[in-house]
Amino acid sequence: MTARRLRCVLALVLLAAAHAAFAQTPDTVQLQDLTWTELRDQVRAGTTTVIIPIGGTEQSGPYIAVGKHNRRATVLAERIARGLGHALVAPTVAYVPEGGTAPPTSHMRFPGTITLPDGAFEQLLASAAQSFAVHGFRTIVFLGDHGGYQKDLQHVVARLNRQWAGTGARALAPPEYYAASSAGYARILRRHGIRDDEIGTHAGLADTSLQLAVAPQMVRLDRLRHAPKPTAADGVYGGDPRRASAALGQLGVDAIVARTIEAIRRDTAGR
């Protein structure tokens, strides 16, 4: 076989392989990466749980990008969905209540933060859940990565479950997800010698370590290591992120994923 003919044969083989790869359903739990027919078939085959990750676009101190919660919620939801099996992940909700605008309050005092009124936020979540229920999903799980709207999630879940009584559909907002990422993670860090004045409640060592574990490119670690201790004026509340690490963050990630999977399985088994 001549070299020219060999090249043609190899090109045809590669073309056929590429065609086969594009023709296959991707190995993904991300709903937005599937076609409507693929989704229909998955629901018919028993994939009837959908997770709605909820993040938020807000300041997280000088050293973490404003999309922190969005990226973290997306990554954690995907790992939880894969751990559960027969579950998909909806597009992450990035617009959440973050404070007032006239005058700016809470995180709205810092550029880049985006806010919604509580009523609009709750309606957005309820409408998304109703959409999934119409298409055959039976368990709709809200996972909120931000502490400020946890009560909103409970309001939406209660309202949906009243509306869905007797239909077979159910909404959940397992408190274990946020508990594991806040108080639960703080306990883990204390066992590893981290002080409370480092852990913090927002953009401190805990927050920064979690982000280093799931999306290190969003943390300006080189500048952080040589910075003075940030304060509330910088958007860092009650903590010191300078000793944050991906290894510490992975401890929190593992706990959040495990606790949330356990909680969802327990709730669905109880039904």
pLDDT digits (tens, 9 = 90+) for 217-229: 999 999 999 999 9
CA distance 203 to 255: 19
Note if the pTM is more than 0.85.
yes
Of the pLDDT bands very low, low, confident and very high (cuts 50, 70, 90), residue 24 is confident
CA distance 200 to 10: 58
Average pLDDT, the chain: 93
pLDDT digits (tens, 9 = 90+) for 107-133: 999 999 999 999 999 999 999 999 999
Identify whether the C-beta of residue 77 lies closer than 8 Å to the C-beta of residue 132.
no
**Of 246, 6, 237, 13, which Cα lies nearest the Cα of 107?**
237
CA distance 31 to 91: 7
Helix residue ranges per DSSP H, 24-67? 36-44
Please report, for the chain, the start and end positions of each structural domain, with discontinuous segments joined by +.
Answer: 26-270
- Cα angle 213, 49, 182 (rounded to 5 degrees) comes to 35
**Of 6, 9, 116, 111, which Cα lies nearest the Cα of 61?**
111
Identify whether the C-beta of residue 48 lies closer than 8 Å to the C-beta of residue 83.
no
Q: Which CATH class is domain 26-270?
A: alpha beta
Which letter does DSSP use for residue 56 in this model?
A: -
Which letter does DSSP use for residue 233 in this model?
A: G
CA distance 182 to 86: 28
pLDDT digits (tens, 9 = 90+) for 126-161: 999 999 999 999 999 999 999 999 999 999 999 999
**Of 166, 155, 90, 162, which Cα lies nearest the Cα of 129?**
90
